[in-house]
Amino acid sequence: MKALLEILEELHPEIDFETHKSLIDDKILDSFDIITIIAEVNDEYDVAIPAHEITPENFNSASALYELIERLMDED
Amino acid sequence: MDRQNNILEYLDNIVNICPDKIAYANETDELSFKTVYDNSRAIGTFLHNEGRYKEPVVVFMRKHPDTIVTFLGVVYGGCYYVPIDNEMPRHRIELIFQNLNPKAVICDDSTIDSIKDFDYKGAVYHYNEIVKTTVNQAALDEIRDKALDTDPIYIVFTSGSTGKPKGVVACHRSVIDYIETLSEVLEISEDTVFGNQTPLYVDACLKEIYPTLKFGAKTYIIPKELFMFPIKLVEFLNKYKINTVCWVVPALTLISGLGALEKVVPQHLHTIAFGSEVFPIKQFNMWRKALPNARFINLYGPTEATGMSCYYIVDREFALDEAIPIGKPFKNTEILLLTDENKLAPKGEQGEICIRGTSLTLGYYNDFDRTNEVFVQNPLNTMYPELIYRTGDIGKLNERGELVFVSRKDYQIKHMGHRIELGEIEMVMNQMDGIQSVVCIFDNDKKKIIMYYVGDVTKADAVNYCRDKLPRYMVPNLVEKLDIMPLTSNGKINRLALKEKYANR
């Protein structure tokens, strides 16, 4: 989780990602951020987020995103 | 055949042919050609009643079909539209207002409150009100009768290196010239269903707005949020049977790069025009594999020459290290490749891409100095006045005789489909309290803007300041604080050293 928070904070140092739960709904993240996150998550955790998992729900908070990463790691 | 002198003739004509067909739509609203015609003439009449004529009218509305109606309404009123958007940071809008000194702004529900925050004393009109105006056909006829094809239609603002955006003024003649040739290349017809991606405050949306009127085609405005979620985006294209897109390259690589084409294919899509940036061949090949029968068209051109100036219809395979050519100029446009000595570059050698033809816009609004720097006398013509536009892009002809984009002359970059002067970001950041020095570099492979700064400011504050003053696409993707700025031996900031520092980090 720590590495994920670092990825997110590098993109948006002004946001507290531990508490923010509506990153998509509040338009914090945009398409560029999503692409960057996917690439960096791939580097860091060695998981590829498949296209059908790129949904507003999975990116609305750091915890939701981390759950997705864990799920994908388990599937490997 | 009567010669067309006014872009509104497209609408005047099509409304008699297919009045009830849908022209512009989004997920919830749709406007028929008849509605577009009636509403835009109501707005034109309103502006006339208010005494607005031959002046800029700011259109400050959300991305919606009504906004397009308002554009047309402003032209019916004999004025020219200046689109701005809530996405633009306050500071940029202030600079635009300073340049324009507008007397009229048209708002909708989403902007009517925020306009009060600006230091603007002129009239504010609400779309919902002015669209109810009873049309005065005699007044509109008189406005039309007096209109010239060299009169402006719109002003759109682009990035400027001094920190001040430049307002490009385009007239009927150049837009008609562009729309006619573009439509021919894209093979637009009444069956075309566009999926609009680009914002309505840039010239890129001309590609959908006017061919739709010319042919009685249809344009769906795609919600911006969908450009984060590739599967949902393709599902939208399929749901509305979108068959033609003119998108910036990053919007297409979003779909291919994230693996969406393996799950779902845009099944109606047959014409894919792209531009703004070099299309990475690996990504491009995924698209061609998914849509082997579609036409792929690379477009190139600056806002200053109305829209696009060159095109290349993809007709062969490309190796991973090749670039897709920008091909050849549109009909009635000429490209000159000029050397530093203002001579034609010998065949196969590099030169600055300079554009000649009717497609040239009128120049920058209220800015003769910067206009005269780039709209210049054709150096090859010493006999009579003739302007060319110097793009600042370097190009050359390949062995097949196709034009290829090589690079920029200066620090201008293309990022997220937008043209950006890195100097503008530096100018804006240098104005922040506590900042001593700022340099931006661009990572062309990862498409990231990296900002280095020296000063008594936290990274979070620096980023917040950027977000406040700059459009989203200009906000650096990586911000690094330095103790000292590396300098060259003659005291200039050593950009090369920063690039190396970044590469080795």
Boundary (domain end) residue, out of B386, B408, B430:
B408
According to DSSP, residue B2 is labeled P
Q: d(Cα B88, Cα B494) in Å, to the nearest integer?
A: 31
| Residue B493: per-residue pLDDT | 76
Mind giving me the DSSP string for B223-241?
PGGGGG-HHHHHHHHHHTT
The residues facing B32 across adjacent strands are B22
Answer whether B173's CB lies under 8 Å from B358's CB: yes
* CA A17 to chain centroid: 10
B51 vs chain A: nearest CA distance in angstroms?
Answer: 40
C-beta atoms of B232 and A35 within 8 A: no
Task: Please tell me whether residues B400 and B436 are part of one structural domain.
Answer: no
Note down pLDDT in tens along chain B; length 505 residues: 578 999 999 999 999 999 999 999 999 999 999 999 999 999 999 999 999 999 999 999 999 999 999 999 999 999 999 999 988 888 889 999 999 999 999 999 999 999 999 999 999 999 999 999 999 999 999 999 999 999 999 999 987 767 789 999 999 999 999 999 999 999 999 999 999 999 999 999 999 999 999 999 999 999 988 999 999 999 999 999 999 999 998 889 889 988 899 999 999 999 999 988 788 898 899 999 999 999 999 999 999 999 999 999 999 999 888 889 999 999 999 999 999 999 999 999 999 999 999 999 999 999 999 999 999 999 999 999 999 999 999 999 999 999 999 887 777 788 887 888 888 888 888 888 888 888 899 988 888 899 999 888 898 899 889 888 888 889 998 899 988 888 876 667 788 888 888 888 7
| Residue B118: per-residue pLDDT | 92
Boundary (domain end) residue, out of B383, B408, B433:
B408
Task: Please tell me whether residues B34 and B156 are part of one structural domain.
Answer: yes
C-beta atoms of A34 and B228 within 8 A: yes
C-beta atoms of B229 and A56 within 8 A: yes
Answer whether B110's CB lies under 8 Å from B76's CB: no
Residue B194 lies in a domain: no
C-beta atoms of B477 and A36 within 8 A: yes
C-beta atoms of A36 and B467 within 8 A: no
Task: Please tell me whether residues B256 and B141 are part of one structural domain.
Answer: no
Task: Please tell me whether residues B339 and B475 are part of one structural domain.
Answer: no
Task: Please tell me whether residues B227 and B287 are part of one structural domain.
Answer: yes
Which residues in chain A are contacts of B260 at CB distance < 8 A?
51
pLDDT exceeds cutoff 60 at A47: yes
Which residues in chain A are contacts of B257 at CB distance < 8 A?
35
Buried/exposed B155-166: b ≥16 CB within 10 Å, e otherwise: bbbbbbbebbbb
Boundary (domain end) residue, out of B366, B384, B408:
B408
Residue B392 lies in a domain: yes
Q: What is the number of structural domains in chain B?
A: 3
Read off φ and ψ for residue A10, nearest 5 degrees. -65, -35
Residue A54 touches chain B, beta carbons under 8 Å: yes
pLDDT tens-digit readout, A48-59: 999 999 999 999
Residue B217 lies in a domain: no
Which residues in chain A are contacts of B249 at CB distance < 8 A?
none
Mind giving me the DSSP string for B123-137?
EEEEHHHHTTPPP-H
Residue A72 touches chain B, beta carbons under 8 Å: no
- The CA-atom distances, in angstroms, between B360 and each of B22, B81, B193, B202, B332 are 32, 18, 28, 16, 11
Substitution target from B227, B258, B265, B277 for chain A, most A beta carbons within 10 A = B258
B259 vs chain A: nearest CA distance in angstroms?
Answer: 6
Which residues in chain A are contacts of B478 at CB distance < 8 A?
10
Residue with tokens 């202030």: B94
CATH of A2-75 given 3.65.10.10, 3.40.50.300, 1.10.1200.10, 2.40.160.40: 1.10.1200.10
Task: Please tell me whether residues B1 and B140 are part of one structural domain.
Answer: yes
Average pLDDT, chain A: 90
Task: Please tell me whether residues B451 and B370 are part of one structural domain.
Answer: no
Residue with tokens 């977000």: B467
Q: What is the CATH number of the domain that holds B430?
A: 3.30.300.30
C-beta atoms of B230 and A13 within 8 A: no
Query: Model's pTM, two decimal places?
Result: 0.88
Please give the residue of chain A at the shortest CA–CA distance from B473: A32
Task: Please tell me whether residues B33 and B162 are part of one structural domain.
Answer: yes
A1 vs chain B: nearest CA distance in angstroms?
Answer: 21
The residues near B241 (Cβ < 8 Å, ≥ 6 apart) are B193, B268
Which residues in chain B are contacts of A35 at CB distance < 8 A?
254, 257-258
List the one residue out of B191, B233, B198 whose CA is nearest residue B212.
B191
C-beta atoms of A51 and B467 within 8 A: no
Residue B284 lies in a domain: yes
Cα pseudo-dihedral B397, B324, B199, B48, rounded to 10:
40
Residue B436 lies in a domain: yes
The verdict on ipTM greater than 0.95 is no
C-beta atoms of A54 and B472 within 8 A: no
The residues facing B273 across adjacent strands are B246, B297
Residue B8 lies in a domain: yes
Q: How many Cα atoms within 13 Å fall on the side-chain side of residue B414?
A: 18
Please give the residue of chain B at the shortest CA–CA distance from A54: B229
| Residue B436: per-residue pLDDT | 83
Task: Please tell me whether residues B243 and B266 are part of one structural domain.
Answer: yes
Answer whether B437's CB lies under 8 Å from B453's CB: yes
| Residue B408: per-residue pLDDT | 77
In chain B, what is the greatest distance between 2 CA atoms, to the nearest angstrom? 70
C-beta atoms of B464 and A14 within 8 A: yes
The one-letter amino acid code at A19 reads T
Q: What is the CATH number of the domain that holds B291?
A: 3.40.50.12780
Element (H, E) at B481: strand B478-481
Task: Please tell me whether residues B397 and B440 are part of one structural domain.
Answer: no
Q: d(Cα B330, Cα B300) in Å, to the nearest integer?
A: 10
Q: What is the CATH number of the domain that holds B47?
A: 3.40.50.980
Residue A11 touches chain B, beta carbons under 8 Å: yes
Task: Please tell me whether residues B233 and B367 are part of one structural domain.
Answer: yes
Residue B191 lies in a domain: no
Which residues in chain B are contacts of A26 at CB distance < 8 A?
none
Here the tokens at position B12 are 């005047």
In this structure, chain A runs to a length of 76
C-beta atoms of A51 and B231 within 8 A: yes
3-state secondary structure of B117: helix
Residue B175 lies in a domain: no
Q: d(Cα B66, Cα A22) in Å, to the nearest integer?
A: 29
Range of the domain at B83: 1-170
Task: Please tell me whether residues B39 and B9 are part of one structural domain.
Answer: yes
A52 vs chain B: nearest CA distance in angstroms?
Answer: 6
B329 vs chain A: nearest CA distance in angstroms?
Answer: 32
Higher per-residue pLDDT: B61 or A15? B61
